[in-house]
Amino acid sequence: MPELRIRSAGAPGAIGRYRRREPENTVLYQVVREQLETFLARREERGHPVPRFIERELRAFLQCGILAHGFVRVHCDSCGKDRAVA
């Protein structure tokens, strides 16, 4: 993916480069993805289910930063490039 140069809102004139953070490549993401269903099932079997808000947060974690689960299109007026940001 070509890079997008962005201006920092906090420092006028500062320019940075946007790079998608790729959460699916982190160890934490991979462990949660691979173990979530087993963890939830075992807690249920033992009579101590995980509170619903925790399950929702863990499932939301697996969607955060993944383009397939939603994104916003941003446009740079300076260079004319568009990007999809998860």
Residue 18 host element (H or E): strand 15-18
What are the two backbone dihedrals, phi and then psi, of residue 27, each rounded to the nearest 5 degrees? -65, -45
Residue 13: what pLDDT? 58
Residue 39 CA, distance from chain mean position: 21
Q: Is the pLDDT of residue 69 over 70?
A: yes
- Domain segments of the chain: what residues? 23-85
Residue 15 and residue 8 in contact, taking contact as beta carbons nearer than 8 Å: yes
pLDDT digits (tens, 9 = 90+) for 43-67: 999 999 999 999 999 999 999 888 8
Region 21-47: mean pLDDT is 95
Q: How far apart are CA 42 and CA 50, in angstroms?
A: 10
pLDDT tops 60 at residue 11: no
